[in-house]
A = this chain, B = another copy of it.
Amino acid sequence: MSETNFEANLEARANLFKALGHSVRLLILNLVRIKPRHGEELAAILRLNPATISHHLAKLTDAGLLQARKDQYYQMYTLNTEHVGKTLADLIHLPQPEISSGVEQDAYRFKVLKTFFRHGRLVQLPAQLKKRLVVLEKIAESFEPRREYSEREVNHILLDFNDDVASLRRGLIEHKLMARSKGIYRKMV
């Protein structure tokens, strides 16, 4: 799905809610639910200019909440029950793949990595936990799963990122990205 489609779909959903997001329009829906009505009648009841009512009716009709049919002079509006049975969840929830195609969910991660890495080297270990975690997870990718590492081997790999290997080692253990047992290091799942 193209980004344009994604945005159009999103905008369409938002428009349904926008149509409902006005007290006059909620009243119109309730009045029309009781019985079909025409614009002039609604204007009289709600004490608004017929042109204003006409705008509201157009929005409700565009959103598929009302149906209009001709009856003599009058455009009679009736409630369209197609949408009103749906739950908010139905109308809010976008499928995951669609979200991913529309926005970069890892943007925060990328931003943190961009901030703290320069030419592949770690400029500084972030003080904030959430950012430190992002950085350490990145570094942990350099270790293979299920393989055993001696401390010398660990240090050798970490040295590529930063001279303060002790802090990096401690961070990896602390955040449970690696485990140490009898001097042997192993990457966690």
Contacts and interface: CB of A to CB of B under 8 A. Distances in A.
Interface residues of A, number: 55
Contacts of A18: 17-18, 21-22
Nearest to A81: B89
Query: This chain: how many copies in the complex?
Result: 2
A2 interface: no
B23 A21 contact: no
Contact of A20 (B92, B111, B128): B92
A27 B41 contact: no
B40 A108 contact: yes
Given A17-B17, A17-B21, A46-B103, A29 B92 contact: yes
Interface in A21-48: 21-23, 25-27, 29-31, 33-34, 38, 40-41, 44-47
Contact of A47 (B15, B40, B87, B107): B107
Interface stretch (A6-14, A140-148, A155-163, A171-179): A6-14
Interface of A: 7, 10-11, 13-15, 17-23, 25-27, 29-31, 33-34, 38, 40-41, 44-47, 72-74, 83-89, 91-94, 96, 99, 102-105, 107-108, 110-111, 128-130
